[in-house]
Structure 1
Amino acid sequence: MNKHSPLSSVLVDVNTANGLPNAHYIDPAIFAEEKRSVLYANWSGIGFGKDVPEAGDAKPVDFLGQPLLIVRDRDGSIGVFQNTCRHRGMILVDKPQKIRGAIRCPYHSWCYGLNGELRTTPHVGGPGQNTHEDVKLSELGLIRIRSYVWRDVIFVNVDGNAPEFEEVHGELMERWTEFDKPIFHGGESSSFKLEVKTNWKLAVENYCESYHLPWVHPGLNSYSRLEDHYNIEKRGHYSGQGTLVYRQLTDQDGNKLPDFDDLSDKWDEGAEYIAVYPNVLLGVQRDHGFAIVLEAVDQENTVEHIELYYAKSERETPEHDGLRASNAQLWKTVFEEDVFVVEGMQKGRHGELFDGGRFSPAMDGPTHNFHHWVATQIEKGRAA
């Protein structure tokens, strides 16, 4: 395959554009290139704050081969570090755990604080000598990875060169400012993952358009119809879809989940579903939201990590446990309905004569917007 497939046909208006060439879905060399220029060079999702709920909680994450460590500090903040000891490169934490004192390397017991600072270096100057003038603790802390937490998603910029998160996504944060309030994870039933045989980008492309609803989601489309949806496009940042008809779930007694406070009329029956480039999918409704982090395993495999959040906590509203479980099952069904589509498109990308496809100018704007952004990132990486 041509490693540098031409992207000029992607970087034009939706009316005449092609989609990304096949190589961007099936070629390991292109996957490696996109790892650097798309996923490492931008703010990518790697996990959720709810996975490290208390001070001292630590969770290792493999982000495209890069060993990272998510840590909740004593002040409640979340830090992300390279999960590698500065001494001999040993992995520090190999499974989620509570750090009682310090992050201790299992090899030679060098110890780091929850803020990444190197604290102790046993016998570094010889037996019983725990210091050495040439080993400066202040210079050997863990390598911190830029991170930002929004809507409980932990975003990282591995190469360190992206603009600030608020600069990149400030417009989306403003768009959803009404939801800028505490959110509470729905508990065990509100957390699930799907292992899908597809390139991660196809999951984004499918998520951000409503065109497929009548055929792939007939149940959802029966009340939130195709004509009730609208496209959302912000060139270079995000895209997705909104609906004018969101129907709240009720239980057998007519109870509903509590709404988020002080929402405008727009959200009485409205909802929005947006892809935050590159790999995070978010949804907001009046009574709950969700976040999906797409873990790109390789060019043909993706894990979708899905979490649901509510306006009130489980502890406050045990009477709504059944509604939360039902809501999670509904979403799980919707997301599972998409699996055959994204896996089928992945298989289709092995058709050597496929030219990336054409878009419906009316319906596929959000998907083309994503293709345009990916192509822009790749071209930027090639020019560097």
Structure 2
Amino acid sequence: MSSWLPREIEAQREALQQVLLPIAEARGLPNAAYTSESFAAVECDQVLARGWTCIGVGRWVPQPGDLRPVRLLGLPLLMLRDAAGGLKVFHNVCSHRGLELVATPGRSKGLIRCPYHSWSYDLDGNLKATPFVGGPGTRDCPGFDRTRHGLKPVRSAVWCDAVFVDLSGEAEDFETFIAPLAERWGAFDGSRLRHGGADSAFTIEVACNWKLAVENYCEAYHLPWIHPSLNQYSRLEDHYNIAVEGHMAGQGSTAYRPTLSDDGRAFPEHPDLPETWRGAAEYLALFPNVLFGIHADHFYTVVLEPLGPDRTREHFEIYYFGEAALGDDLADLRAANTHQWRGIFEEDRGVVEGMQAGRASPAFRGGVFSPAMDGPTHCFHQWMAGRLLT
């Protein structure tokens, strides 16, 4: 453990150490972890910027030249699709005077032009044009080397269309990071994923800290009371906990059998799945901030975008296994599937916002965990406390 910690974390050292205790003895993260601006700033540096954090999905930049500005706790980043179809991430700032380079999603025909002084970059981040840099009518000046002033790249990786960045440049190899999840879901071929289109995406903004969205997603304990319709066919008794030592946790169901159509139509399933996946589903949070759901007939990603200590934007994207699911004949089923998932996540709004409100109370000191039901949530809390204390 480091001998030096930021003041905000040092003040919470005892509370964070209690999180690391065995589940029957542990408390949850302290209130400041959900309410404090200064704590959030340290959390950004010590958690979100020190490992692989999800910032979006490749579907947001589908064609060469597509540009999408994104933010990670205020830090401006730029996702783009290069001329060869590769996905790249850069710091979204002009090298000249620091203007945010791209303010809205769009498409470049080859160059990304800064609106301030018209410095321009290609899709590989190279600085290509510097008009009047040496005075009116010039493009160069003595001693100025364009190759040193391109866009600053961000280490990035893509898995099942989810885009991850390592702002520190010092995190473990992405293959090592993603291995536990990739191996667990190894029966599924990610290359088969096809996004469902405009009717298969939505965004919800909730008045809670992003960590509460993770915690709520990890556990099935709340199903009977918060999701009564879901609990009718996928009961609490049909769910199991997934608490993996490391950086993921969640839940699974052995009874995922929703009915989206009265005429027997259904989405095509992923081929050659083991029988154990028929009617099954798993829902995993990959720490810190991305949620995945997998079923025999569809897959989804939820990117949690922290907007501040008490606000989170949830970007929900639904994918299917192959082109056959994208036809007009299944458009109503795709819309119904999206409607169903949006309804489930909206049902969670009251509890995550209520927990946020409760974090203002000095009477709440992290709460307690049920050893039988809260293992995944405790797993997340331990991971967070460990990252903050090292």
Shift of 1:276: 0.6
Q: TM-score when scaled to structure 1?
A: 0.96
Given candidates 7, 11, 20, the residue that maps to 1:11 is 20
Aligned to 1:44: 53
**CA offsets 1:177-214 (integer angstroms, 9 cap, x no match):** 22223211112221111111111000000001111111
> Counterpart of 2:131 in 1: which secondary structure?
coil
Given candidates 181, 184, 199, the residue that maps to 2:209 is 199
- CA change 1:352–1:210 in 2 (3 A) is same
Shift of 1:279: 0.5
How many residues are treated as equivalent by the alignment?
Answer: 380
Given candidates 95, 101, 105, the residue that maps to 1:96 is 105
CA contact (8 A) 1:82 1:143 kept: yes
Aligned to 1:61: 70
Shift of 1:47: 1.2
Given candidates 114, 117, 126, the residue that maps to 2:123 is 114
Give, as a single letter, the amino acid of the residue that structure 2 aligns with 1:69: L
CA contact (8 A) 1:187 1:314 kept: no
Shift of 1:320: 0.4
Aligned to 2:297: 287
CA contact (8 A) 1:246 1:271 kept: yes
- CA change 1:81–1:112 in 2 (3 A) is same
Give, as a single letter, the amino acid of the residue that structure 1 aligns with 2:101: L
Structure 2 matches for 1:1-384, cutoff 5 A? 4-5=11-12, 6=14, 7-179=16-188, 180-313=190-323, 316-380=326-390
CA contact (8 A) 2:268 2:324 kept: no
Shift of 1:262: 2.0
CA contact (8 A) 2:68 2:78 kept: yes
CA contact (8 A) 2:267 2:325 kept: no
Percent identity of paired positions between Structure 1 and Structure 2: 48
CA distance in 1, matches of 2:219, 2:142: 60
Give, as a single letter, the amino acid of the residue that structure 2 aligns with 1:125: G
Shift of 1:248: 4.6
* CA root-mean-square deviation: 1.5
Contiguous gaps of at least 5 residues in structure 1: none
CA contact (8 A) 1:186 1:314 kept: no
CA contact (8 A) 2:241 2:376 kept: yes
CA distance in 2, matches of 1:22, 1:185: 38
> Counterpart of 1:9 in 2: which secondary structure?
helix
Contiguous gaps of at least 5 residues in structure 2: 1-6
Shift of 1:314: 7.5
CA contact (8 A) 1:169 1:237 kept: no
Shift of 1:315: 8.5
> Counterpart of 1:115 in 2: which secondary structure?
coil
Give, as a single letter, the amino acid of the residue that structure 2 aligns with 1:64: L
The list of structure 1 runs, each at least 4 consecutive aligned residues, that deviate by more than 4 angstroms after superposition, is none
CA distance in 1, matches of 2:387, 2:165: 16
CA distance in 2, matches of 1:47, 1:8: 32
**CA offsets 1:70-110 (integer angstroms, 9 cap, x no match):** 10011111111111111111121111111012011112221
> Counterpart of 1:177 in 2: which secondary structure?
coil
> Counterpart of 2:192 in 1: which secondary structure?
coil
Q: TM-score when scaled to structure 2?
A: 0.94
> Counterpart of 2:154 in 1: which secondary structure?
strand
> Counterpart of 2:78 in 1: which secondary structure?
strand
Give, as a single letter, the amino acid of the residue that structure 2 aligns with 1:123: F
CA distance in 1, matches of 2:217, 2:315: 14
CA distance in 2, matches of 1:315, 1:10: 44
Give, as a single letter, the amino acid of the residue that structure 2 aligns with 1:201: K
Shift of 1:151: 1.7
**CA offsets 1:346-372 (integer angstroms, 9 cap, x no match):** 111111021101100011000000000
CA distance in 2, matches of 1:283, 1:30: 30
Shift of 1:125: 2.5
Give, as a single letter, the amino acid of the residue that structure 2 aligns with 1:253: D
CA contact (8 A) 2:68 2:106 kept: yes
> Counterpart of 2:389 in 1: which secondary structure?
helix
CA contact (8 A) 2:160 2:191 kept: no
- Greater mean deviation of Cα atoms: 67-76 or 250-259: 250-259
CA distance in 2, matches of 1:347, 1:117: 47
CA contact (8 A) 2:8 2:42 kept: no
